[in-house]
């Protein structure tokens, strides 16, 4: 799996912990992150994703079509799933301040995880680190 | 004539290499997965 993930576009390094069933992926700078592609690549390597979290820095913005979004780069925008943490960050929306946060993109709910990633993977902010 | 050529070069250069500046420090540092079925 480590080899398979490392071959994905934009992946710099992959750490796998067999004991915990945890995988850490470090993207290259200036690369685009596609959660659906990671999800599929993991499945193709013979295992399935139970949970996917991301550590990222970016800006909270309000999008007329999508509502609250977290803009990481020029083209990477994640819709934000409202929760208590996002409610507390209302003052930061559109302020231009770069927030470093840990967010949840996917958590398996029930049954067997499928090959296909969910249609949408909104970011649920778990904690703000700055 | 020279200024028109210079203007054209500038236009093409700016069109090709213009990028919207990214917020300083923005980016993904790490993606953590919990997986099942790993042996």
Chain B neighbors of A20, CB-CB under 8 A: 34
Chain B neighbors of A26, CB-CB under 8 A: 29-31
Whether complex ipTM tops 0.85:
yes
* Mean pLDDT value of segment B2-21: 69
Give A21 to chain B, closest Cα distance, Å.
Answer: 5
Q: Check whether B22 has a pLDDT greater than 70.
A: no
Chain A interface test: which of B18, B32, B33 (most A C-beta within 10 Å): B33
Query: Model pTM?
Result: 0.79
What distance lies between CA B6 and its chain's CA centroid?
25
C-beta of residue A24 within 8 angstroms of C-beta of residue B31 = yes
Closest CA to A70 of A22, A10, A128, A13: A128
Chain A neighbors of B27, CB-CB under 8 A: 27, 29, 56-58, 72-73
Q: Check whether B28 has a pLDDT greater than 80.
A: yes
Chain B neighbors of A54, CB-CB under 8 A: 28, 30-32
pLDDT, position A16: 92
Residue A7: pLDDT band with limits 50, 70, 90:
confident
State the residue for tokens 């500038």.
B10
Q: Check whether A20 has a pLDDT greater than 60.
A: yes
- Interface check for B36 against chain A (CB to CB < 8 A): the answer is yes
C-beta of residue A128 within 8 angstroms of C-beta of residue A86 = no
**Which helix (H) or strand (E) is A100 found in, with range?**
strand A99-107
Closest CA to A21 of A55, A53, A48: A48
* Mean pLDDT value of segment A94-109: 92
C-beta of residue A2 within 8 angstroms of C-beta of residue A12 = no
Cα–Cα distance for residue pair A16/A14, rounded to 1 Å: 7
């Amino acid at each position: 799996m480590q080899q398979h993930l490392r071959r994905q576009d934009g992946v710099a390094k992959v750490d796998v912990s067999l004991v915990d069933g945890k995988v850490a992926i470090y993207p290259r700078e200036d690369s685009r992150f596609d959660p659906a592609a990671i999800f599929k690549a993991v499945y193709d390597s013979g295992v399935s994703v139970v949970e996917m979290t991301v550590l990222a820095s970016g800006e909270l913005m309000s999008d007329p079509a999508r509502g609250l979004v977290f803009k990481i780069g020029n083209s990477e925008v994640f819709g934000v799933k409202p929760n208590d943490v996002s409610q507390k960050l209302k003052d930061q929306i559109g302020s231009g301040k770069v927030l470093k946060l840990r967010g949840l993109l996917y958590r398996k709910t029930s049954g067997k995880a499928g090959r296909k990633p969910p249609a949408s993977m909104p970011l649920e902010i778990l904690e703000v680190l700055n | 004539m020279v200024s028109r050529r210079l203007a054209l070069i500038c236009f093409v250069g700016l069109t090709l290499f213009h990028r919207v500046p990214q917020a300083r420090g923005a980016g993904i540092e790490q993606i953590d997965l919990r997986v099942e079925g790993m042996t």
